[in-house]
Structure 1
Amino acid sequence: MNRLQNLFKNKANNLLSIYFTAGYPELSSTVAIAEALEKSGVDFLEIGFPYSDPVADGPTIQHSSQQALENGMTLHVLFKQLKDLRKTVSIPILLMGYVNPIVQYGVENFCKKAAEIGVDGVIVPDLPMYEYEALYSKYFLDNNLSNIFLVTPQTAEDRIRKIDELSNAFIYLLSSSSITGGSLDVSVSIEDYYKRIKAMRLKNPTIIGFGISKKANFDKACEYANGAIVGSAFVKLLGEDDYLNKIPAFIKSIKH
């Protein structure tokens, strides 16, 4: 059992995850941000590795990716930065990014390296499910890495059931099919979508992402899922002066 599976076993509700881009705002800021988030009471982390063509990301995260790439962030650099991470950070860690850099690195090598430094799971929005199942699932399972699948309001029920079958940590529910950074619009249709997923009684926990930026969004998401992910709103904070010292108050404003 990895740390992520352990977390869901021991704490079922109101889980808060934070996404941030490795190498932003500074190349060397990744570990310090992770440490500050754990101290502030975050339940698990998503560390994004930047890519030059981030199709699912809104302007805030695109900007952070661009800046991180200009700062010199690559998967090789990230793995180097994270090699001692587990000396100071104990909460579950996910890496999030696009399939292209992983394939260039070598999927088997990527999975081995991620496991070696204590990563618990990976979110790859543009990795097709059939490709994961046919070509790569062995590398993930051999290295005790959870692959996290995404579901949108348009995802068909049989596909959601298949995702549930292939998952072993949680399922990432996108609050919409749009890009990151919008506001969580809890319209009747979105609420129906959440209710529909909840009624399916999936075996895996669910976490809602995209558009969660404040306590009201977070609490609403937690009514329907086991927790929520905050991304763009946190990445915006990292663009401010003295961002490390502002992290505890930011997390408190969402979680308490």
Structure 2
Amino acid sequence: MSRIQQLFARKPKGVLNVYCTAGYPTLESTVPVMQALQQHGADLIELGIPYSDPLADGPVIQASGSKAIANGMTVARLFEQLKDFRQTINVPVVLMGYFNQVLQYGFERFCADAAAVGVDGLILPDLPMFEFEHMYGATIKKHGLDFIFLVTPETSEERIKKLDGMSTGFLYAVSSSSTTGSDKKLEDSNAYFQKLQSMGLQNPVLIGFGIKDKQSFDAACAFANGAIIGSAYIKALDGKSDVASATKEFLSGVLQ
């Protein structure tokens, strides 16, 4: 079993996945932020690779990515930082990035380097299903990485089933058709969440976009195996020199 499978076997409900941006708030914050997340209650870490054109990200995560790039973060620098992270971090870690930056680095090389440092899976929102199925999925599988697809309220049942069949680890249910950090009300998507619940999907489901505090986390967990917090955590780190105390304060509010 992969680390992600082990997590959901051990904890089938209430899984907290927290997104952080590599190289934010400072270039060398990557691993300390991940350590703080693990220490204070995150079950899974989604580590964002900063990119100049982040299609799925709202203004908060975009700004953190811009700051990280200005700090000097690159894909190569990230793998250098992650070289020994498994000495202190045992929770599953997935890399979230965009297809073009992975292609620029070299797709096979990226997967090999991710696996070598101990990364568990990938989220590439703009990697099309057809290309995954016919060109890139075999490389991801060869290196033992899980791949997580996203579904939205507009995704047809037929396509949801197909994406579920190709995903491993979990399925990422975007709560609304918007970017991260959206202010849309989570309850507006309850019918969509109920549909996902009723479909008998093979993967666990984590709900993301618009999860920001205990109330929204608990509401999402009522329909899924857990939820993903991103923009709200990035906001909590903004301007803070002590990432450990900022992380503790933020996560204690979510998990109280």
**Counterpart residue number, 2:123:** 123
**Letter of the structure 1 residue corresponding to residue 192 of structure 2:** Y
How far residue 184 of structure 1 moved from its aligned partner, in angstroms, is 5.0
Pairs within 5 Å for 1:53-132 = 53-132=53-132
1:1-256 map, 5 Å? 1-188=1-188, 190-241=189-240, 242-256=242-256
Q: What do the CA deviations read for 1:177-224 (whole angstroms, capped 9, x no partner)?
A: 101101351344x11000011110101110000010000000000000
Contact 2:33–2:243 (Cα < 8 Å) also in 1: no
- Alpha-carbon distance between aligned partners in 1 of 2:105 and 2:60, rounded to the nearest angstrom: 26
Give the counterpart letter for 2:194 in structure 1. K
Structure 2 unaligned residues grouped into runs of 5+: none
Cα distance in structure 1, aligned partners of 2:141 and 2:10: 22
Contact 1:184 1:212 in 2 (8 A): no
Q: CA separation in 2, counterparts of 1:135 and 1:205?
A: 25
TM-score by length of 2: 0.97
CA distance in 2, matches of 1:224, 1:201: 13
- Do 1:115 and 1:145's aligned partners in 2 also have CA atoms closer than 8 Å? yes
User: Stretches of 4+ moved more than 2 A in 1?
Assistant: 240-244
* CA displacement at 1:175 relative to structure 2: 0.4
Moved more, 236-245 or 82-91: 236-245
Residue type at the aligned position of 1:32: P
Q: What is the SS of the residue equivalent to 1:133?
A: helix
Distance in 2 between residues matched to 1:59 and 1:22, nearest whole Å: 16
For residue 203 of structure 1, give the secondary structure of its aligned residue in structure 2. Answer: coil
Calculate the aligned-residue CA RMSD, in Å: 1.0
**Counterpart amino acid of residue 252 in structure 1:** S
How many residues are paired up? Answer: 255
CA distance in 2, matches of 1:41, 1:187: 25
Tell me the CA shift for residue 6 of structure 1: 1.3
Asked whether the equivalents of residues 183 and 213 of structure 1 are also in contact (C-alpha less than 8 Å), the reply is no
SS at match of 2:83: helix
Contact kept? 2:32, 2:243, Cα under 8 Å = no
State whether residues 50 and 66 of structure 2, in contact with CA within 8 Å, keep that contact through their aligned partners in structure 1. yes
What fraction of aligned residue pairs are identical, expressed as a percent?
49
| CA distance in 2: counterparts of 1:186 and 1:244, whole angstroms | 29
Per-residue displacement from partner, 1:60-86 (whole Å, max 9, x unpaired)? 000001011111101000000000000
Cα offsets for 1:16-65 (capped at 9, x unmatched): 01001101110000000000110101100000001101111111000001
Offset at residue 244 of structure 1 (A): 2.5
CA distance in 1, matches of 2:253, 2:245: 14
Q: Secondary structure at the match of 1:94?
A: strand
Contact 2:168 2:203 survives alignment (8 Å): yes
Residue ranges of structure 1 left out of the alignment (5+ in a row): none
